[in-house]
Amino acid sequence: IFSAVELAPRDPILGLTEGFNADTNPNKVNLGVGVYYNDNGKLPLLEAVKAAEKTRLEAAPARGYQPIEGLGAFNTSVQNLIFGTDSPLIKEGRAVTIEALGGTGALKVGADFLKRLYPSSKVYISDPSWENHRALFESAGFTVENYPYYDAATHSVNFAAMKAYLAALEANAIIVLHACCHNPTGADLTAEQWKQVVAVIREKNLIAFIDMAYQGFADGITEDAVALNLFAASGLQFLVSSSFSKSFSLYGERVGALTLVTENKEESARVLSQVKRVIRTNYSNPPTHGGAIVAAVLSSSALRQQWEAELATMRERIRAMRISLVEKLKEKNVPQDFSFVVKQRGMFSYTGLTAQQVEQLKTEFAIYAVSTGRICLAALNTKNIDYVATATASVIGK
Ligand code: PLP
Ligand code: TYF
């Protein structure tokens, strides 16, 4: 039955980690995958998470099935986190949230649901976007196209081109937007630009699907929800996928959520009933542990405060690495001005390094980056940053 199966290409990002793991160079650095490491180069287990896990372990709860939509306390906490506790949208019963298997799982449930509702719509993702967006929406049966986004010359968003493109789209086109910390470029829209995006989406009857995988990594929990708040205030219906992989350092627990904002409470009930059908025929109901931990942290004021402080530490450390990298490259007299790296937000930067330079970094220095020139700043630390800056200056000079 499998003789005709062809070998599939490796995931361009996760595949890099396989190469990195096999590399025996003691100085090796993995700037490929988007994972936060602390200054010791270790994946942290957050103290707030540890505390919530201890309590849960002591309570030793039985492991029954969860409801199809997941843990109610988790879903409520997510709504409060993304829209704020005072959001009228929550009070009016216009938000439906289901617990999903990571941000990826949330996107897939949303994509499958949208395909049933709008089978002939096309999906539009930013150029460039997260590696998995295209494949994920294509696997749900959609045709996927790119809208203009990043301008390599200015290292920022070409907003005029983006807006003009969106304004020319057909009704019911599905637009995937990055709420903050754009992956892979680190270039975000301003609040003023988000207002214009909301206006175009309303005017052209487009469907916004907002992907929020890095809430808290740009400026803070509330600050990073600016796009969501503008959509919430608009009265429009839209979808949001949330990931807690990075913000809680719970990558392998697969914690995420899909929130659908509807017209009213009665519509919410109908939407939830149909989303539950999508879930039931896919994985039936989500796992218990990760969602229970996130819900426990978010609903305890002490743990929430501790978590926000730990999130701020991650955010500030990444920022410090951005500043340090730019300074070190300048000290080494590289010909380019890298100051744009400090303006970019979140874990990533599109450095402008060519595929050939990225290849040299790997073969000569055991430094792994994505061939597009994307690097993950959260993999830099005070011990490896000199090595990375020296290596980068060396490949640029060639
Ligand atoms: N969306 C974006 C933009 C991401 O960068 C990621 C990263 O992993 C995801 C979605 C998926 O999140 P998760 O790892 O929780 O599935
Ligand atoms: O972009 C990244 O590096 C993260 C992790 O198929 C990731 O979002 C990368 C590729 C992938 C799943 C997750």
Mean pLDDT score, 62-76: 97
* Sign of torsion over alpha carbons 199, 112, 245, 35: negative
> What's the rounded Cα separation, in Å, for the pair 346 and 133?
18
pLDDT on residue 10:
83
A 10 A CB-CB count for 317 gives 18
Shortest-distance atom of ligand 2 to CA 130: 1
Name the band, by pLDDT with cuts 50, 70 and 90, for residue 398: low
Distance 45 CA to ligand 2 centre (A): 19
Same domain, 223 and 95: yes
- Whether 50 maps to a domain, the answer reads no
pLDDT on residue 131:
86
Q: Residue 276: which CATH number?
A: 3.40.640.10
Q: Is 340 in the pocket of ligand 2 (CB under 6 A)?
A: no
Same domain, 175 and 26: no
Active-site position among 28, 108, 112, 130:
130
pLDDT on residue 13:
87
Distance 136 CA to ligand 2 centre (A): 12
Q: Whose CA is nearest to atom 2 of ligand 1?
A: 213
Cis omega (within 30 of 0) for bond into 128? yes
Mean pLDDT score, 287-316: 98
Based on the residue annotation, tell me whether 211 is a catalytic residue of this protein.
yes
Q: Whose CA is nearest to atom 9 of ligand 1?
A: 103
Indicate if the pLDDT at residue 15 is higher than 90: no
- DSSP letters along 61-101, please? ---PPPPTT--HHHHHHHHHHHH-TT-HHHHTT-EEEEEES
Mean pLDDT score, 34-41: 96
pLDDT on residue 338:
95
> What's the rounded Cα separation, in Å, for the pair 112 and 106?
10
> Tens digit of pLDDT for each residue in 195-226?
999 999 999 999 999 999 999 999 999 999 99
Residue partners of 10: CB distance under 8 A and separation at least 6 = 18
Q: Can you give 2-15 as a three-state secondary structure string?
A: CCCCCCCCCCCCHH
Same domain, 129 and 149: yes
Task: Calculate the CA dihedral of residues 389, 339, 218, 362 and round it to 10 degrees.
Answer: -30
- Domain with 260, as residue range(s), is 63-299
Residue with tokens 């990931």: 243
What is the CB < 6 Å shell around ligand 1? 34, 102-104, 130, 178, 183, 211, 213, 243, 245, 256
Residue with tokens 């309303």: 202
Mean pLDDT score, 122-130: 97
Q: Is 379 in the pocket of ligand 2 (CB under 6 A)?
A: no
Q: Which of 52, 65, 35, 70 is nearest to 259 (CA)?
A: 70
Active-site position among 108, 211, 328, 362:
211
> What's the rounded Cα separation, in Å, for the pair 148 and 161?
6
Q: Return the structure tokens found at 62.
A: 């039985």
Distance 333 CA to ligand 1 centre (A): 36
Same domain, 38 and 125: no
Q: Is 341 in the pocket of ligand 2 (CB under 6 A)?
A: no
- Whether 145 maps to a domain, the answer reads yes
> What's the rounded Cα separation, in Å, for the pair 182 and 349?
9
Ligand 1 pocket test, pick from 243, 350, 374 with the greatest ligand atom count within 8 Å of Cβ, gives 243
Distances, alpha carbon 24 to alpha carbons 20, 21, 217, 235, 395, in Å: 9, 8, 32, 55, 21
Indicate if the pLDDT at residue 227 is higher than 80: yes
Distance 258 CA to ligand 2 centre (A): 18
Same domain, 294 and 314: no
> Domain ends where: 256, 275, 299?
299
- Whether 3 maps to a domain, the answer reads no
> What's the rounded Cα separation, in Å, for the pair 330 and 175?
39
- Whether 52 maps to a domain, the answer reads no
Based on the residue annotation, tell me whether 246 is a catalytic residue of this protein.
yes
> Tens digit of pLDDT for each residue in 102-120?
999 999 999 999 999 999 9
Counting the structural domains of the chain, the total is 2
pLDDT on residue 6:
96
Q: Which of 344, 338, 368 is nearest to 183 (CA)?
A: 344
Q: Is 183 in the pocket of ligand 2 (CB under 6 A)?
A: yes
Same domain, 262 and 362: no
pLDDT on residue 397:
85
Distance 152 CA to ligand 2 centre (A): 22
Distance 158 CA to ligand 1 centre (A): 24
ipTM over 0.90: yes
Same domain, 100 and 20: no
Name the band, by pLDDT with cuts 50, 70 and 90, for residue 12: confident
Indicate if the pLDDT at residue 36 is higher than 90: yes
Q: Could you give the percent of the chain with pLDDT greater than 70? A: 100
pLDDT on residue 201:
98
**Local structure of residue 157 (DSSP, 8 states):** E
Same domain, 209 and 309: no
